[in-house]
Structure 1
Amino acid sequence: MARTEAGGYRERLLAGAVSCLQEKGYARTTARDLVAASGTNLASIGYHFGGKDALLNEALAEFFDQWIAQVERAMFSSQPGSAREMLERAMTELVDRFEELRPQLVVFVEGYPAALREAALRERLAESYARCRRAGADMVRRAVAQFGIELPVAPEVLVSVLVAITDGLLLQWLLDPAATPDARQVVDSLAALSSLIA
């Protein structure tokens, strides 16, 4: 694993944790791996994070937060022509980047089984999902205000459904990328569903 030199110990540990998670996975990463990857020492893990598991949990949560921020930038980086175009931008950032994000997605999926047995990781992932729902709901409110649309459901519910779709698609993509719909197909499918049940 490549040693991470930049930044203070906390930042180096986080960067090293991301590297270890991508190369070894959640369960197989040891404290010594983290030290080697970050160029720090064992005591720094306890000092900055309280322990190895807390550091790994924080690294997973940080990836989640960065992805949410990228979605927001994509949605609002320039003036969209329609609400559909804005949804396509969001889904492109969520779905069409699976190949680029593959190492992080594998780590994310590997975190689920560990979270079923480790309360601290389960709570950390639940917090990440809660932040995702809040941030997504804020984006939805901003978008509907921009287009003068009134939603028939709470923004948090809409975001939860979109997150579920994204999570399901990433699992499908990890197993069979060629059979997984892209962002445009996802939006077309949502529009088709809407017309069927409206």
Structure 2
Amino acid sequence: MDPVASTEAGGYRERLLAGAVSCLQDKGYARTTARDLVAASGTNLASIGYHFGGKDALLNEAIAEFFEQWTERVERSLFRAEPGTPRELLLRALEQLVDVFGEMRPQLVLCVESFPAALREPVLRAKLAEAYAKARVAGTDMLSRAAGRLGAELPVEPAALVSVVIAISDGLMLQWLLDPEATPDARQVVDVLAALGAFVA
């Protein structure tokens, strides 16, 4: 049977992505080989080229998909119920950006390890920049929808607000990986932001 045809029949694309995430978590970006990916996914070398064009493109796609899945998780949390107050919405978002660190530690390590690799790999850097751009677009859309449901106007430009929230999450992620006990949780972050807003207003 044609190996390319068999990849289409066996759902190999999804299996390759799952295998790539597993390898990235275990071995990191630089040490993962094509044979590692085949072993982890139960596929074949031809399927990597057919679906992704090569090993590096598969690894890049796996990292980007993790970012997108995390963004989707935030969106589900925001709109699973009535919006409540702006403070409650922000807390709901930050719970999915900060309070999930414990259950997502392997993925967080993968995320952090991808940054230095991206400094030397232009394609990965572009892929991560694209992932952040998509997160900003998705976040801006979430803010617009939430503001509409609340009947409120956003106090600042939405894309800037989303970028700041992402920066808070990324910064706390680094702190948590080094010292979980000293890292504030979502509720503490909201309290600090509210106090800071009142202080600088």
TM-score band (shorter)?
A: over 0.9
Aligned twin of 1:24: 27
Distance apart, 1:41 and its partner CA:
1.0
1:78 aligns with 2:81: yes
Count of aligned pairs: 193
1:60 aligns with 2:82: no
Q: TM-score, length-normalised on structure 2? A: 0.93
* Structure 1 counterpart SS, 2:102: coil
Aligned twin of 1:160: 163
Aligned twin of 1:141: 144
1:132 aligns with 2:97: no
Structure 2: any 5+ residue segments left out of the alignment? Answer: 1-9
Aligned twin of 1:4: none
Distance apart, 1:124 and its partner CA:
0.3
1:48 aligns with 2:51: yes
4+ residue segments displaced more than 3 Å: none
Tell me which amino acid in the other structure corresponds to 1:182. Answer: D
CA distance in 2, matches of 1:191, 1:58: 37
Aligned twin of 2:4: none
Tell me which amino acid in the other structure corresponds to 1:57. Answer: N
Aligned twin of 2:198: 195
CA distance in 2, matches of 1:81, 1:111: 36
8 Å Cα contact 2:137-2:159 kept in structure 1: yes
Q: TM-score, length-normalised on structure 1? A: 0.95
Tell me which amino acid in the other structure corresponds to 2:170. Answer: D
CA distance in 1, matches of 2:131, 2:140: 14
Distance apart, 1:143 and its partner CA:
1.1
